[in-house]
Amino acid sequence: MNQELSSGFTIAANAPIAVALAISALLFVIGLVGFLCRRNMIIMFLCTELMFQGAALAMIAFARLRMDVSGQVFVIFILTVAAAEAALALALVVLLYRKRETLSADAWSDLGES
Amino acid sequence: MTQLTSIPQAIIAPELSWVGLALLLPLLAAVACALCCALRVKGKAAAIITILALAASFGIIVKAYFAYTGPVQVPIFQWLSFQWGTGQFQSFTANCGMYIDTLTLYWMLFVTGLGTLISIYASEYMEGDCGAGYSRFFFGICIFLFSMSALVLGDNLIMLYLGWEGVGLASYLLIGYDYARPAAVAAGKKAFIMNRIGDLGLALGIFMLWANYGTVQYSELFAAMNKGGQTSVNWDLSVIPFLLMLGAFGKSAQIPLFTWLPDAMEGPTPVSALIHAATMVTAGVYLIARMYPFFELHPEALATVAWVGGLTALLAATIGMAQYDIKRVFAYSTISQLGYMFLGLGVGTTFGACYHTLTHAFFKALLFLTAGAIMHGFAGQLDLRKLSGLRHLPGWRIVSWTMLVGCLWLSAFPYTAAFFSKDAILLKALTSVRADFRFLGWLGLFTAALTAYYTFRVWFRVCAGPLHFEPGAEGHDEPHDTHDTHDKHDTHGKPAPALAAKSTHAFHPHAPRWAINGVLLILAVGALVVGIPGYNETFAHKDNWAQQMIAGSSAMEGAGLAEDHGSQASQEHPTVLGMDAHTGLTVVGCTASIGGILVAWYLHLRSRKSADQLRAALLRRWWIRWVPICMENKWYVDEIYHACFRLPMWLGAQILSFGDRHFLDGVMVDGLAKLPVAVGKVFKPLYGGALQGYAATMAGGIALVVAWLSWVWLRGFN
Amino acid sequence: MVPTIFYAACAIAAAGLALLLMQSGSKFRMGATILGLAGIAWILVIVVQTIPTPASEIGPLGLMILCAFVSVASAVRVITHHRPVFCALYFVLVVVSGAAIYVLLSAEFVAFSLVIVYAGAILITYLFVLMLAQQSPADIGSADAVDYDRIAREPAGAVIAGFVVIAVLGGSVFSVSEQKAESILDQNRAIRQGWGDLSMMPKLLLEQARRTDSTVTAVVARTDGQMIAAQTDHSAIISVQRGCQKTPTDLTLAPSLLPDNTSRVGMALVTRFPVSLELAGIILLMAMFGAVVLARKQTDIADDDRRALAGLGKVMDGNQSSQGKANR
């Protein structure tokens, strides 16, 4: 097995970085899956936050790999944007909830064909 | 093989281009009639224009006859002229010009003459349609005469073909003149389509002629024939006469393309008289006469023509014996007499055929016009079972006696014109070297007897005997005792059902007036006049004018491959029943015609019930009953054609229509139309309004992009 | 090269996840959980096995694996729990374990800011909203959660989509060749960058110099114009002015005097990413504006009255149906 996989994560120079990269991919994908299959709007946004987590972890891992602090700087910006987006998104969700008295995303499929 | 006698060479004579007016005048008259039609002229202006134009054409032709000195070729204007090389087969010339020799003048005389007379007749006959289709009718007549003149006068085969198609078109337009009646429309279509089948043969023949001789002009073709360079018979050449005769059979209603002519009787009677008796159907005879040198190269071709003619004559005569509609009887009679003409051409006597054409034109036109007068006066009644004794009616005497003249001529009563012409044909047949021609001659004599019988069947039934008449179904209101202008009449094609229920006693027949009577008289006199050449030859031993005309043209009986038959034949070959040929034929012919008349007199005048008893007796015996049944049903030829041709074509059309609907329309067109819809359905979730659908699509897109980046783009950096 | 084993591991994990997501009886839950955990474990094993690890680094690696496990398990719980509040709380766990991973990756500042901002601010907001929008138990009948929380929408499709993405991501990693991998490692550059950052912080530089040698009075530029010259042994040489001398002399700074992570992040933000910093501030300002606008009091006029105001007729079935008409 080693032979086959030897040219894989060796870019990660040492194991923790490799594990961090793998985890970032997994977090991203788990967030994607959750977004696609949950119907509660707030939880859908929570899953997008999960995807943010995955991306941020990848950034940090590569910053550690390349010993460049820019990756961490970028994560700060990601944090900023995530905060702004969360605030606005939740405000909108509350408004939507007031209209239909439900948090289900299926209530808002007017654009599609019935 | 003896050499062909030389065909006289035509000289180019542009100074005779005034003869082209005979072509131009009917065309101008046609345009004028079309204007009358468009302007909805209410009077008889179209008729007057037509009569004047045709009379002028006749005058021009007479003048040309008297100015005739020899065969000439008169160019009029350049029409089709191509040259793409310098060899013999690398040019094509078919200009508008005239080839005037005696055959042309002979034909044009009776075409234009009869055209004028019948137009005069039609001006009264069609007056019920004044303001409705009157001008259209004369437009058709003018078109017809223009085309017929082009056919006869043209100096190349392309002009002949133009005229050929033009007369077919005019025939279609005029048969279907009463387009509100489906029977007339169907008859017009049938005529046109059957003619087209023949035209195919003619077109192919013209192509083959050009392919072999490199030219379609008469003068050059005859020059090539004179040189004798084409006497070798190879495959290409031998096909030409068969193709040409196919065209002739289509136009002249011979087997197998004859069933259109009886149906063409749905057209108005002047049309039947002019086109389907006197002029158009003789175009086939003209074609073979004009191209006779080519036919003479191939005895098989001539034999085919003779056999087809002879058999057609017999077949049509048997059918005519059993018809009850007067016009139908005359139609089958026309087919039969045309068969005689082709028989004459086939056995080698172009003089006999052309002379018979002339006499037939007169007496057949006369007979049709009398039938038309009866139809016009008795509201469309033509069933000879319902008319009787018309010669006793005042006002109908001229009709009856001119009809008698026509019938006598048709029966070839001794020393009538038709007697001389039929005699010429049968003489040649009976004195032929070939046994099958002799058989055809006897067949022709038998047919002559039948002809006499059915002709006088009509006359004895309709014009003789006790007076009785019933009106037909096309009644229009008759003012009592007045024969003035008919205002607002139905056309002859529209029945007035109320009148059909009228009793016969309240119906007054509408006797013909001066136009109809006058033309009938002129035609009767004409029929007498055309007998003069024959009379001259037989009794006065002067030259037969018709024979001179024919012999001086390309239709001359060049002694091609057959042995010469001069007057020596009758002495060397004791032919007809042991007597000298001429005498023997005269005796047998007279017997045949008079015998037929007597039988008709007995069965249809003396004791009319005996005809019915005879028919019933025939039907009872199983071994003979097929004869009257087949005769009455026209030998089922129409039904055979329907089964052989129309039914498979209809089946094929159904299959193709099914394929078109379901495959071409359904699968290909509709299927292709459904393709975008299906593709759209595939992509519908993309914009279905479901948020997570969008997200899934985005995920898919991301995956694609990453895959491309990592597997394609990055590899480029290695 | 196609890492089929990697794909197989991913597939197993995906299958486990799908089963967990489906609303089936509890008999599947145990099996699904085991399946999922096994898949994830296998992935981690694959990843770790590709890289030879010296014995000294087993400790950090073990910690890392533990935090990774916690993180992923909590993430799975976030998306599979049927009660939204618990989802948020599990998310907090994800964030905390994520912060631990960051620390192990030498990103301390970001780790703590993550905890403060995410767990402290964002998730609190989520919890507030979830409390606000929760439906009372009387509404939902006998089940302990609303149906749109219990029943997942097309879990199979979602898992397949996820699997495709991770297969592509992982596969792309495996498609990079080894030579290339080595070339992106550059330890020295990081050290140089660290000293470079320090050179731009004069006060800190002076402080570090004084810590080394307390007689330093000022730091001056060197003869080649630079402030700091990094050496191969990761130390640096600066020109300093000591109190008793007139001409500058060299001073060697030990590698331990490199600025710490927080300083470096701050330095990078201010010197290399000033525009982004300003823009981030503007984004926050916009978000605040937006929140104020959205939070304005909406007068809740009933549909019929609103339509009457606009001059239209009544709505037939009110606003109860999920396919109700959109309001103006």
Quick one: average pLDDT of C127-139? Answer: 77
Are the beta carbons of B252 and B284 closer than 8 angstroms?
Answer: yes
Contact A32 C165 (CB under 8 A): yes
Are the beta carbons of B134 and B37 closer than 8 angstroms?
Answer: no
Q: What is the layout of strands, in order, in the sheet containing B91-100?
A: B11-12, B72-83, B91-100
B45, pLDDT greater than 50: yes
Q: What is the reported pLDDT for A47?
A: 93
Higher pLDDT residue, B589 or C298?
A: B589
Q: What is the reported pLDDT for C98?
A: 95
Q: What percent of chain B clears pLDDT 70, i.e. is strictly above it?
A: 87
Most confident region among B182-186, B481-485, B547-551 by mean pLDDT: B182-186
B558, pLDDT greater than 70: no
Contact B714 C176 (CB under 8 A): yes
Q: What is the reported pLDDT for A69?
A: 86
Are the beta carbons of B515 and B121 closer than 8 angstroms?
Answer: yes
Tokens of B147: 């085309």
Residues C32 and B433: their CA atoms lie apart, in Å, by 113
Query: How far is the alpha carbon of B713 from chain C, nearest alpha carbon, in Å?
Result: 11
Tokens of B626: 């097929």
Block residue for tokens 């005739």: B68
Higher pLDDT residue, B327 or C22?
A: B327
Residue B180: which H helix or E strand, with range?
A: none
Query: How far is the alpha carbon of A67 from chain B, nearest alpha carbon, in Å?
Result: 23
Contact A79 C117 (CB under 8 A): yes
B505, pLDDT greater than 70: no
B480, pLDDT greater than 70: no
Q: What is the reported pLDDT for B570?
A: 38
B61 pLDDT band, cuts 50/70/90, is very high
Q: How many CB pairs under 8 A join B and C?
A: 39
C39 pLDDT band, cuts 50/70/90, is confident
Q: What percent of chain C clears pLDDT 90, i.e. is strictly above it?
A: 20
B703 close to A (CB below 8 A): no
Contact C164 B709 (CB under 8 A): no
C-alpha neighbours within 13 Å on the C-beta side of residue C76? 26
Chain A residues touching B689 at Cβ < 8 A: 109-113
Q: What is the reported pLDDT for A66?
A: 77
C5, pLDDT greater than 80: no
HEC sequence for B451-495: HHHHHHHHHHHHCCCCCEECCCCCCCCCCCCCCCCCCCCCCCCCC
Query: How far is the alpha carbon of C176 from chain B, nearest alpha carbon, in Å?
Result: 8
Q: What is the reported pLDDT for B479?
A: 36
Quick one: average pLDDT of A12-25? Answer: 81
Question: Exposed, middle or buried: residue B69 (CB in 10 Å: 0-12, 13-18, 19+)?
Answer: exposed
Q: What is the reported pLDDT for C10?
A: 80
C194 pLDDT band, cuts 50/70/90, is confident
Block residue for tokens 């001359």: B556
Q: What percent of chain B clears pLDDT 90, i.e. is strictly above it?
A: 25
**Torsion angles phi and psi, residue B174, rounded to 5:** -85, -35
Task: Kindly report which listed range (A38-47, B465-474, B634-643) carries the lowest average pLDDT score.
Answer: B465-474
Q: What is the reported pLDDT for C187?
A: 64
Q: What is the pLDDT of residues B685-709, one digit of tens each?
A: 666 667 777 888 888 888 888 888 8
Quick one: average pLDDT of B380-405? Answer: 85
Are the beta carbons of A7 and C176 closer than 8 angstroms?
Answer: yes
C289 pLDDT band, cuts 50/70/90, is very high
C206, pLDDT greater than 60: yes
Who contacts B215 (Cβ-Cβ below 8 Å, separation ≥6)?
Answer: B93, B221, B224
Tokens of B512: 């013909």
Contact A37 B692 (CB under 8 A): yes
Q: What is the reported pLDDT for B497?
A: 41
Q: Give, as one character, the DSSP assignment of residue C23.
A: -
B482, pLDDT greater than 70: no
Question: Exposed, middle or buried: residue B236 (CB in 10 Å: 0-12, 13-18, 19+)?
Answer: exposed
C161, pLDDT greater than 70: yes
Longest dimension (CA), chain B: 122
Nearest to B691 among A32, A105, A113 (CB): A105
Residues B631 and B652: their CA atoms lie apart, in Å, by 32
Q: Could you give the angle at the alpha carbon of B144 between the alpha carbons of B138 and B150, nearest 5°?
A: 140
A67 close to B (CB below 8 A): no
Give whole-number Cα distances, B196 to B263, B312, B637, C114, in Å: 16, 20, 19, 97
Complex-level ipTM: 0.89
B504, pLDDT greater than 60: no
A8, pLDDT greater than 80: no
B495 pLDDT band, cuts 50/70/90, is very low
Q: What is the reported pLDDT for A109?
A: 75
C23 pLDDT band, cuts 50/70/90, is low
Nearest to B710 among C158, C165, C172 (CB): C172
Q: Which of B176, B360, B372, B184 is nearest to B281 (CA)?
A: B360
Task: Kindly report which listed range (B59-68, B96-105, C176-185, C207-216) carries the lowest average pLDDT score.
Answer: C176-185
Quick one: average pLDDT of B661-675? Answer: 86
Q: What is the pLDDT of residues B283-306, one digit of tens each?
A: 999 999 988 888 877 788 889 999
Q: In B, residues 671-700, which contact C (CB 8 Å cutoff)?
A: 692, 696, 699-700
Quick one: average pLDDT of A69-83? Answer: 93
Q: Which residues of C124-140 are buried (b: 16+ CB within 10 A; e: fewer)?
A: ebbbebbeebbeeeeee
Helix locations, B254-389, DSSP H: 260-263, 269-273, 283-290, 292-296, 299-321, 326-347, 350-377
Q: What is the pLDDT of residues B418-472, one digit of tens each?
A: 888 888 888 888 888 888 888 898 899 999 999 999 999 998 888 888 887 777 7
Quick one: average pLDDT of B526-553? Answer: 76
B579 pLDDT band, cuts 50/70/90, is low
Question: Quick check: helix, strand or coil at residue B126?
Answer: coil
C66, pLDDT greater than 60: yes
Q: Which of B366, B327, B330 is nearest to B516 (CA)?
A: B366
Task: Kindly report which listed range (A76-80, B5-9, B125-129, B427-431) carries the lowest average pLDDT score.
Answer: B5-9
C241 pLDDT band, cuts 50/70/90, is confident
- Search chain A and give the residue with CA nearest B696: A36
Q: Which of C99, C50, C102, C96 is nearest to C74 (CA)?
A: C96
Task: Kindly report which listed range (B64-73, B253-262, B415-424, C195-204) carries the lowest average pLDDT score.
Answer: C195-204
Give whole-number Cα distances, C211 to C206, C208, C230, C253, in Å: 8, 5, 18, 9
Fold (CATH) for A16-104: Helix Hairpins (1.10.287)
Helix locations, C105-146, DSSP H: 108-114, 123-132, 137-140
C174, pLDDT greater than 90: no
Tokens of A54: 């995955």
Higher pLDDT residue, B310 or A11?
A: B310
**Torsion angles phi and psi, residue B557, rounded to 5:** -85, 80
Q: Using CA atoms in the order B179, B184, B190, B196, what is the torsion angle rounded to 10 degrees?
A: -50
Quick one: average pLDDT of A22-26? Answer: 91
Chain-centre distance of CA C297, in angstroms?
34
Are the beta carbons of A40 and A96 closer than 8 angstroms?
Answer: no
Nearest to B689 among A32, A36, A112 (CB): A112
How many other C-beta atoms are found inside a 10 Å radius of the C-beta of residue B399? 26
Nearest to C152 among A38, A57, A75 (CB): A38
Higher pLDDT residue, B9 or C132?
A: C132
C301 pLDDT band, cuts 50/70/90, is low
Q: What is the pLDDT of residues B236-276, one digit of tens each?
A: 677 888 999 999 998 988 888 888 999 999 889 999 888 87
Q: What is the reported pLDDT for B172?
A: 93
B563 pLDDT band, cuts 50/70/90, is very low
Task: Kindly report which listed range (B17-31, B45-59, B588-602, C136-150) carries the lowest average pLDDT score.
Answer: C136-150
Q: What is the reported pLDDT for A11?
A: 56
Mean pLDDT, chain B, rounded, equals: 81
B473 pLDDT band, cuts 50/70/90, is confident
Q: What is the reported pLDDT for B662?
A: 86
Q: What is the reported pLDDT for B577?
A: 64
How much is the pTM?
0.61
Nearest to C168 among B692, B703, B717 (CB): B703
C229, pLDDT greater than 50: yes
Task: Kindly report which listed range (A39-53, B570-584, C36-50) carries the lowest average pLDDT score.
Answer: B570-584
Contact C78 A46 (CB under 8 A): yes
B494 pLDDT band, cuts 50/70/90, is very low
B164 pLDDT band, cuts 50/70/90, is very high
Quick one: average pLDDT of B471-485? Answer: 48
Q: What is the pLDDT of residues B586-604, one digit of tens each?
A: 888 888 888 888 888 888 8
Q: What is the pLDDT of residues B174-201, one digit of tens each?
A: 999 988 889 999 999 999 999 999 999 9
Contact C164 B703 (CB under 8 A): yes
Q: What is the reported pLDDT for A79?
A: 93
Contact C168 B706 (CB under 8 A): yes
β-strand B468-469 against B387-388: which pairing, if any? antiparallel
